[in-house]
Structure 1
């Protein structure tokens, strides 16, 4: 090392000074002049000693700096080699000088074999002209960010790649190389494509749902007008001629009226469902006596329970009977629940309870001893046009809109509904409602 040679030279000067000093004492002539020269040499030698100490200290610092630089170089090399994205260093012509492990995997080629190759060999033929144009402008632009291009590995397999690049310059600001960041975005592109496909499908589904709701609304209006006329004239016919009709004729007219009312209920449900789906449904909030409405609903439906020899029982346990809600819609959802309970119960009873949960909430429970609902079907019973999937189900009429409307109405009322059921053991529907519904 140069520093070692410097130390040897200093030692040589010291030895020569000692030799000269001895010669001065041995030669009496011009002793004083020689002594002065020796003293000056001694001073110079001392200064050299000081310089030697400083150099030793600086050399130790240089060694420490070199060790730190080596650690940083190793750290950088590790980051370079094990980075998740591909990193390349090329000259200005795109010749690969350095490559990390991710780049090697990206191009499916050994790391040692990729060095010296031109990056353009991994660009498909149809995209090479554009790549050359980008490469030619890169030294002037100094950087390239998030450029998406299709590349191919050594086996010819194509993949989508996102490229970012920056140039490196010498002391005179001349472009001497390029650093490349390569990221395989094939998975992301596929995910984006799937997302776009799903969004398109959802758009088609929304359009289909809107179209379906419009058709339901139009058909319901068109059906309700003649049906109301049929019910009206049938009722008038029965009242004016009941005494003149035979029992068989009276029964036939009553059957027309009863089935007409059932059909009108189905049509009204379809209209309400269409409005709920379109978000055009609103509540007419008012204060009313919940127990009076409760008794009125059960009294109206008791006839249907008696026809099937089913007991319809009520249990009211509530102190504050005043609630703020839409009484017509409360009647609708309760009628749907109780009618369902009666329809799917062959023997036993239907129990309807009204309770207070606290000062702010009331609970309505409809419990039957009917055919029950399987655990699988419990996940779908609130979907529109869906009935429980049982072997007996086809015996029962209905559109499957009742529970869907109940669920949507409860959402408007800030209420909830839960159900517990087992096949052959009946079902229990539990509704929680705020005593005062807040208008939105």
Structure 2
């Protein structure tokens, strides 16, 4: 029951009381009977009024409870609006700000009081306002926009990237009443995206450069190897002629041509191997062979180089079963590179080669008493074209690919290589390989 119904019922009781009074004046009944009847009618009316009063009181209590709940809900909404981490704005249909939360004020570097009554377009850079205004006009057809990326500016003119979501606000009759805006600063995200794009672009460029380098090395190595083999072949033919057919000076020149050609061919082979390894085109030819025999034969082949420098060369082999499955040519290549480097950079003392087994793996250890490697350079020695001591390597020769090839071959065999060294005290290289390498 509302207040109007309650007033109407009071009027009805008053009307009934007037009727009773009029009837009492003209009634032929005794006054006591008339009084009793009037009191009964009045009691009935009062009871009805009491019931109506109780209903009205109950409705008032329900209304007060509903009003309190609504106030709590309004307060909760206001707190969510006010303390939201993103900027929230409410504007009229023309974009004039009516409400703004704290985050919006911080985002635009001003106060909430200042924002109210200002046009949102004032916080758009001038050169982008036409596009913003055009988009705002189209909002009437779209009703909402999600993650609209625009450039905004603070009150001081500092620009930033923003993501805006806009939702239409309607009145009770469904007409446009304004817009609700969510504004988020995405400058950090845009910068990160730009940085990631630059990194991806740089990676693509590096990959392309690496591919072109590998292709160039492979092509040039093949092209250089062909004439170099011809030089070696003709030099060998000349050296096979009877001694008396050559003047001593001419024979010495042919020997120098032959030795230089062999050295150059070895460098070309290194470049070709490295290009294959880098492009993933080198495949191992797996077979069973005797590791002890291979290590002994390879070390003996290089003994003459050690003797020329008056170095001792030791071999220690401790294998219960010397047979392994691997690519014998590539294992030999690893050993030759490590041994030749050890001899090349050792002037006093000696070089040792040790072969041992650890469970189902084998260990090749090449140790020297040479010049050693500085701690800062240890992590660089397996990089291609990296030569730690440029003066010495220029004197001794080499491409700087030897250890890079060893490192990649070892990893191709699913092994690992480590090095320990100190300046002036020599170096120790350890190569650990599985006994059986699977294809």
TM-score range relative to shorter protein: 0.7 to 0.9
Structure 1 CA distance for aligned equivalents of residues 78 and 90 of structure 2: 17
**Matched residue, 2:321:** 320
Task: Deviation per CA, 1:256-298: give whole Å up to 9, x if none.
Answer: 4333322211110001111222222211112222212111211
**Conserved? CA contact 1:315–1:354, under 8 Å:** yes
Following superposition, the deviation at residue 143 of structure 1 comes to 0.8
**Matched residue, 2:235:** 234
| Equivalences for residues 169-188 of structure 1 within 5 A | 169-188=170-189
Following superposition, the deviation at residue 217 of structure 1 comes to 2.3
Structure 2 CA distance for aligned equivalents of residues 285 and 199 of structure 1: 38
TM-score by length of 1: 0.85
CA spacing shift, 1:310–1:276, aligned 2, 3 Å: same
**Matched residue, 1:157:** 158
CA spacing shift, 1:219–1:436, aligned 2, 3 Å: same
Structure 2 CA distance for aligned equivalents of residues 106 and 55 of structure 1: 46
Which of 36, 41, 48 in structure 2 is aligned with 1:32?
36
**Matched residue, 1:16:** none
Following superposition, the deviation at residue 325 of structure 1 comes to 1.4
**Conserved? CA contact 1:377–1:389, under 8 Å:** no
**Matched residue, 1:285:** 286
2:302 match: secondary structure = helix
**Matched residue, 1:145:** 146
1:376 match: secondary structure = helix
Structure 2 CA distance for aligned equivalents of residues 74 and 190 of structure 1: 33
Following superposition, the deviation at residue 369 of structure 1 comes to 1.2
Structure 2: where are the runs of 5+ without partners?
Answer: 14-30
Following superposition, the deviation at residue 30 of structure 1 comes to 4.0
Structure 1 CA distance for aligned equivalents of residues 78 and 104 of structure 2: 19
**Matched residue, 2:437:** 437
Please provide the CA RMSD for this pair. Answer: 3.0
Matched, 1:376 2:373: no
| Equivalences for residues 272-351 of structure 1 within 5 A | 272-351=273-352
**Matched residue, 1:167:** 168
1:428 match: secondary structure = strand
Structure 1 CA distance for aligned equivalents of residues 112 and 219 of structure 2: 70
Structure 2 CA distance for aligned equivalents of residues 291 and 197 of structure 1: 52
2:241 match: secondary structure = helix
Structure 2 CA distance for aligned equivalents of residues 240 and 100 of structure 1: 100
Structure 2 CA distance for aligned equivalents of residues 196 and 55 of structure 1: 65
Task: Deviation per CA, 1:55-84: give whole Å up to 9, x if none.
Answer: 47536634652563255134313433xx1x
Following superposition, the deviation at residue 310 of structure 1 comes to 1.4
TM-score by length of 2: 0.85
**Matched residue, 1:271:** 272
Structure 1: where are the runs of 5+ without partners?
Answer: 14-26
Task: Deviation per CA, 1:234-253: give whole Å up to 9, x if none.
Answer: 33333333577687766655
| Equivalences for residues 18-167 of structure 1 within 5 A | 30=34, 32-37=36-41, 39-41=43-45, 43-44=47-48, 47-48=51-52, 50-51=54-55, 54-55=58-59, 58=62, 61-62=65-66, 65-66=69-70, 68-69=72-73, 71-80=75-84, 83=85, 85-167=86-168
1:335 match: secondary structure = helix
Structure 2 CA distance for aligned equivalents of residues 410 and 95 of structure 1: 71
2:198 match: secondary structure = helix
Matched, 1:367 2:371: no
Task: Deviation per CA, 1:13-68: give whole Å up to 9, x if none.
Answer: 9xxxxxxxxxxxxx956453245235425633653574366347536634652563
Q: Which moved more, 1:53-62 or 1:363-372?
A: 53-62
Matched, 1:355 2:356: yes
